[in-house]
Structure 1
Amino acid sequence: MKLLLKNKNFLHLFLGRIVTNMGDSLYYVASMWLVYELGKSSFYTGLAGFLILLPKAMQFLSGPFVDRWSIKKTLVITQILQSVLILIIPISYLFGFLSIQLILIVMPIIAFIEEFAYPTQTKALPLILSKSELIEGNSLFSFAYQGVDLIFNALAGILVVAVGAISLYVVDSITFAMAAIFFSLLKVTQNTDQSSKEEKHRKLSIKAYLKNLTEGFSIVFNSLLWVFLVGSSIANFCIGMTMAILPSFSDTLGGVEMYGVLLTTLSAGSLIGALLGSLLGKYRVGILSIVCFTLGACCWTSAALVSSPILSTLFFGLAWIPIGAVNVLIAGVSQSVIPNRVLGRVNSVMYSLSVIVMPIGSLLGGYLATIVNSKIIFAFTGVGVLCIAIVWLVHPALRALPKAEEMSAKTFRLNFEEQNICS
């Protein structure tokens, strides 16, 4: 918490993230349930999940822009655009032309804009925090993200019943506008060396864009970073299936209130894990990750196998505690060992390649839920988390990863001089 008191830039970024996450939580729950209600089928929630996740899979395309654009302007403009676009839903309802097709058009557009906002927030952290503060900063960011979700996912389920999903879109628009105000207060110094300044002000030609894009892939696949993608890709495929069937699975447990409760326990588990992330930094990351992902997989599968709504909720929340802890550790480590001048494109490539199968999983999950009990699919998806533990276990370099503070670029076989990455 000291970071929030002594660093105004971090405070403004932190508050902006909190407010925009408030809107995201309300918007996601309202949208997915509205699609489920209008379509009366899990197929439509699977399709909605596919359309929302597809821009995330294409995030690598935003990397070169994120590395060149002004952090402050990017954050402010993305929030304003989302604030305006989200009003289309309540306006269309007011004038009587709201349809499931319109929702399925607006949702991916907003999701596409988000793929410029979140990498930019990640890129801003190493510029306003010291290397020693990054794990704590990421822990607070995850705390903000999951803490807000913890409250507003549950609140959204209640508000959908009390005031209706349409009213929540108006609230969402206001929250995005507030986030834009907080981000406008940021003072971020970037591209401090002369060559980087010249690069920033040059027009991003198609040739330069493709060069930057290629360099992002080159850094990932010429290092140990690509190994992370194997297990996480399988896991994310299963997570995509889970998010698609969650409204249907929740309906069997009690309705929209349970949908909010399950999302809340997911956030609660991730929140606790985020808080533990900075504390677990003193342990070897390789062994810790294997243990954490195994525990997460066991709890996830157990959530589907038990019949009690209370136990299902409990196990699902417990599954996300170890997962959240490891995610905070890895985020802090990557920000400390990868130069900021290429962090945007590298993070975008890593993120895109790890989630590229999520839209497919969502679409497949939504379809399978129309012919197979959603509980069976939910149980199967827990196996995806176990795949991460297996990859870390069988790969000697991952298994041997030391403590976070002992890692450097060489730990991940990153050699930026040999790869001639200069912009």
Structure 2
Amino acid sequence: MRDRFTRIALGAALLLLALFVAQPYVTAFLFSARAPRAITARGELAPAEAATVALFARASPSVVHVFVQAATEGRSPFGAEAEEGAEQEGGGSQTGTGFVWDAAGHIVTNNHVVASAAQGGATVSVRLATGAVVPARIVGTAPSYDLAVLQLGRTTPPPPLAIGTSADLKVGQAVYAIGNPFGLDHTLTTGVVSALQRRLPTAEGRELSGVIQTDAAINPGNSGGPLLDSAGRLIGVNTAIFSPSGASAGIGFAIPVDVVNRVVPELIRNGRTRNPGIGIIAGQEAIAARLGIDGVVVMRVLRGSPAAQAGLRGVDLQTGTLGDIIVAAGDRPVHRLADLTAALATAGVDATLDLTVERDGHTRRVRVTTTDVAEARR
């Protein structure tokens, strides 16, 4: 009896072992999909997805790829390194992004993308969304705002982007960036407005105030591309990233469209932008901070300038005695040079502006008339 039970148990164990070994083969034989599987209907896109798809379809034809080619083939016009924020390709080609501004075929991009061509010795071409490559010329540049305007050669330009405003932006609202990161055409990235009123250093020691910060991925090659709101309107021009690695770290910056909409028409009309100033050389902010000074230290007053005519006084270099400290411009407090330049930019050229200055512990108000500082240097 016991032997019979042992034989039955052993047989059952062998059967289970055989089934265990055979199971993958049986499953593969019975259930393998040896023909294309039936497609499952997905249904309608979610409303947010459909809106993003429609936005890209509407805006992307107006976004272009900008190429700057060195005159000497194989040699970069920038020397060993490319300009920050633009993509360096083989053969000395500098690339970036731009977008159509008007029906005349004007293209807006960053100044640092086309800086070598503006200085001479390089040519500019633009690749449209259709794939057509069109020669372009530089109409004007504004290094202080990192903006430039190109003019397409003979072609029918794509429609211009709709223009929005940056005055009513809110932190947290959705934004969309279209550009050519690392040379990859018409790439869409999305994010939100991460912060407002950032400051961004530009050329000639100036700072651009009111800059938009976003976490939409912006990489080298995105420079000069549009930042759009959820209605597909232009709200900024992507210009820089903050990243130790050189790739997107979720902190990108865009020039606000209200600045763009003021500067670009000037570049189209005159080839340059007028930079309002009063004719002072400001002291270094780091030194002012160490001295506990809240305001702009007037280091030197240029002869014949509006500041000189208004009686402003700089530092006495022989005794080291401080002169005037500008602490307000109009109704705006001035803590640093960017505050003063922002007030001057708002006022414009040939405008009257009241300054509040401190001298020898006393506060007084002086009235100055702004002038075009770039013209005054000629």
Q: Give the structure, 1 or 2, with the largest relative contact order (CA under 8 Å, sep 6 or more).
A: 1
Task: Report the TM-score when normalising by structure 2.
Answer: 0.24
